[in-house]
Amino acid sequence: MAVTASAARRLTRRRFLAGAGAVLGSATTGIAKPYLSFAADRPLITHGVQSGDVSSDSAVVWARADRPSRMFVEFATTESFRNAEALAPVDALSESDCTAKLLLEELPPGQDIFYRIRFQALSAPNALSEPLIGRFRTPPQEGRPVSFVWSGDVAGQGWGIDDAHGGMRTFATMRKNRPDFFIHCGDSVYADCPIESEVKLPGGELWRNIVTEEKSKVAETLADYRGNYKYNLLDRNVRAFNAEVPILAVWDDHEVIDNWWPDRLLTDKASGEKSLLALSARARRAFHEFMPTRETLRERGRLYRRLSYGPLLDVFMVDLRSYRGPVQGRNSPAYGPDSYLLAPTQIAWLKRALVSSRATWKVIVSSLPLALLTDDGIAQGDGPPLGRELELADLLAFIQRAGVRNTVWLTADMHYTAAHYYDPNRAQFQDFEPFWEFVSGPLHAGTWSPGKLDDTFGPRVVFAKGCTPEQGDNLAPCFGLQFFGHVAIDDRTEVMTVSLKDVEDRVLWATDIEPSPEGCRACGHDART
């Protein structure tokens, strides 16, 4: 359950301490002092803390308790929590698997924010959990560079947590980069990919997974989907990363089931749930329960949204799954419900949001590459736009006509890393401005070899790295081909530097992208001179 700080009413420090009194103990020392409480009565924070959807002056914080509880949150601009501000508690009930979220508002810009979370057991009001502390950084108003990382694809193809191989090591590498935030491009869990206890590696060595009941089968129930998120949070690298780096997340297919669309029926299943509407409803609920996302009352569970990170950057998260038509209609010659990808309502929102953006850079986060040929992708093969490509053609043409500058697309999904440059001079459809698309992943899953692009929008592969044909697809994470991308935007020149990195933090390829003159607002000069 998410509650805004303004809706819950902020409490003064005196009122907070007076109201919580013996339960919370000293708010300045961070040491809980439950009154006449046995250890067994005290709730536990089970899966660390997270923050997410940081934007302008607000952010979401998240945690989960091991029993029905109330979540208390304090935040401050110093690690000592001196002059901390305490918020009214929010319930963590069984109905939400004892997860809780709270929106912190009216935060100061350009500041490190430290937050402290603890739970009070509903069954034993004097019992309080040990606190956990997290941190994030709010967007600057000006005068500070911005950096972030992105990737996708976690615990796929049977590769789970093997502590002997370091667990999910790419999260530790990304953490060392000290990014302002992390964009998760999808496949944050593989609900349709069970984890077995052992997998044989080339050469005979064994990969030994941590195994849980929910991760041992294809997810169908709400508890199954929740269990997939809880599985990833067992990894110490993931928990440490989440405590320091806020997450901006969207989903793709494996959060539900491979290559799903809303009206699909699973006719090949002998038993169990056959409706994707039912499965996706459960998966969507689990996603929002375990990700620190904002939710809108206008469309409950909506995933597409815009997040502003100061004057340099707006991030546009799009949802390529929830509104798409069936795979049979993806190459229709005419645009209609069967060939929907984002669908009209989301497309109209994205156009309005792009036009209204005053940020230098507009980053569009997609869960799929735009031109990669796959069984369930956007691309339909060489030639003019068809089916799902018609939406993309309309959007790209609109961006050009509306004078929207400095758009960059980021994605994952394909389990290799690449830089694609889309050039209308090479394209079948030419009514658009050139732009970059950067692909990175997997974070912790099998690695694939680079795929083929179609020529509809004129992409050129500037760089690509994945498996070689000799290595074959689904190469295990221990072979080092796990990837993420890093973006740094200079606050003076507004130049965007994009680096594609591997699990060892090696820069495999990088480029500097200069903003158009219209986008260079900080210094007021032509960025190309």
pLDDT in tens, 109-127: 999 999 999 999 999 989 9
Distance CA 508, CA 520 (A): 28
pTM of the model: 0.91
- Which strands, in side-by-side order, build the sheet including 305-308? 305-308, 313-317, 361-365, 407-411, 435-439, 417-422, 459-465
- For 400, the enclosing helix (H) or strand (E) is helix 388-401
Residue whose token pair is 């019992």: 127
Strands 181-184 and 146-151 come out as parallel
- Contact indicator for 218, 194 with CB cutoff of 8 Å: yes
Residue whose token pair is 């912190």: 104
Beta bridge partners of 306: 316
| HSE (side-chain half, CA atoms, 13 Å) at 39 | 0
Reported as a single tens digit per residue, the pLDDT across 15-60 is 333 333 333 443 333 334 444 456 778 999 999 999 999 988 999 9
In the chain, the domains with their CATH numbers are: 2-137 (2.60.40.380), 147-519 (3.60.21.70)
For 31-82, where are the alpha helices, taking DSSP H only?
none
Q: What type of residue is 371? A: A
- Contact indicator for 216, 194 with CB cutoff of 8 Å: yes
Output 295-304 pairs: Cβ under 8 A, ≥24 positions apart: 295/2, 303/250, 303/251, 304/250, 304/342, 304/346, 304/349, 304/350
**Would you write out the chain's pLDDT as a tens digit for each of its 529 residues?**
444 444 443 443 333 333 333 334 433 333 344 444 567 789 999 999 999 999 889 999 999 999 999 999 999 999 999 999 999 999 999 999 999 999 999 999 999 999 999 999 999 989 999 999 999 999 998 889 999 999 999 999 999 999 999 999 999 999 999 999 999 999 999 999 999 999 999 888 999 999 999 999 999 999 999 999 999 999 999 999 999 999 999 999 999 999 999 998 898 776 788 899 999 999 999 999 999 999 765 577 899 999 999 999 999 999 999 999 998 878 888 899 999 999 999 999 999 999 999 999 999 999 999 999 998 899 999 999 999 999 999 999 999 999 999 999 999 999 999 999 999 999 999 999 999 999 999 999 999 999 999 999 999 999 999 999 888 889 999 999 999 999 999 999 999 999 999 999 999 999 999 999 764 433 333 333 2
- Contact indicator for 255, 191 with CB cutoff of 8 Å: yes
Distance CA 361, CA 405 (A): 8
DSSP output for 135-166? EEEPPPSSSS-EEEEEE--BS-TT----GGGT
Cα 356–chain centre separation: 24
Q: How far is CA 415 from CA 237, 240, 382, 444, 483, in A?
A: 20, 24, 23, 9, 8
DSSP output for 484-508? EEEEEE-TTT--EEEEEEETT--EE
Distance CA 193, CA 158 (A): 6
Distance CA 468, CA 387 (A): 32
For 112-235, where are the alpha helices, taking DSSP H only?
169-176, 222-232
- CA-wise closest residue to 249 among 203, 330, 199, 189: 189
- Contact indicator for 230, 215 with CB cutoff of 8 Å: no
- For 16, the enclosing helix (H) or strand (E) is helix 13-24
Count of residues in the chain: 529
Distance CA 210, CA 164 (A): 11
DSSP state of 515: P
Burial class (CB in 10 A: 0-12, 13-18, 19+), 21: exposed
- Contact indicator for 293, 250 with CB cutoff of 8 Å: no
Distance CA 39, CA 34 (A): 10
Q: What are phi and psi of 519, to 5 degrees?
A: -90, -10
Distance CA 426, CA 87 (A): 55
- CA-wise closest residue to 137 among 102, 108, 117: 108
Share of the chain above pLDDT 90, in %: 81
Q: Name the token pair of 355.
A: 């036009």
Q: What pLDDT was estimated at residue 523? A: 38
> Three-state SS for 209?
coil
383 contact partners, CB below 8 Å, separation of at least 6: 428, 454, 455, 456
Residue whose token pair is 């990837």: 483
193 contact partners, CB below 8 Å, separation of at least 6: 155, 156, 157, 158, 218, 254
**b/e for 168-194, b at 16 or more Cβ within 10 A?**
bbbbbbbbebebbbbbbbbbbbbbbbe
Q: Name the token pair of 152.
A: 């996708």
